[in-house]
Amino acid sequence: MASTNKTPNLRLNNWLESDKPKRADFVADNSIIDSVLGSHISDTNLHLSLSEKERVSNPYTISLYYGTGENNYAYNFPFEPKMVIIFKTETPVVTTVSNYPKVNYAVTTTRGSSGGATLSGTTLTVKQTSTSQNGVLYNLNEEDAAYVIICFR
pLDDT value at position 1?
Answer: 63
Closest CA to 137 of 119, 116, 117, 118: 116
Tell whether the model's pLDDT for residue 54 goes beyond 90: no
Contact between 105 and 51 under an 8 Å Cβ cutoff? The reply is: no
pLDDT at position 55 over 80: no
Whether residue 73 is found in the same domain as residue 133:
yes
Number of domains in the chain: 2
pTM of the model: 0.67
Q: Are residues 93 and 58 in the same domain?
A: yes
Q: What's the mean pLDDT when you consider all of the chain?
A: 91
Q: In angstroms, rounded to a whole number, what is the distance separating the alpha carbons of residues 63 and 116?
A: 18
List the domain range (segments joined by +) for residue 73: 50-152
Q: Which pLDDT score, from 0 to 100, does residue 69 have?
A: 96
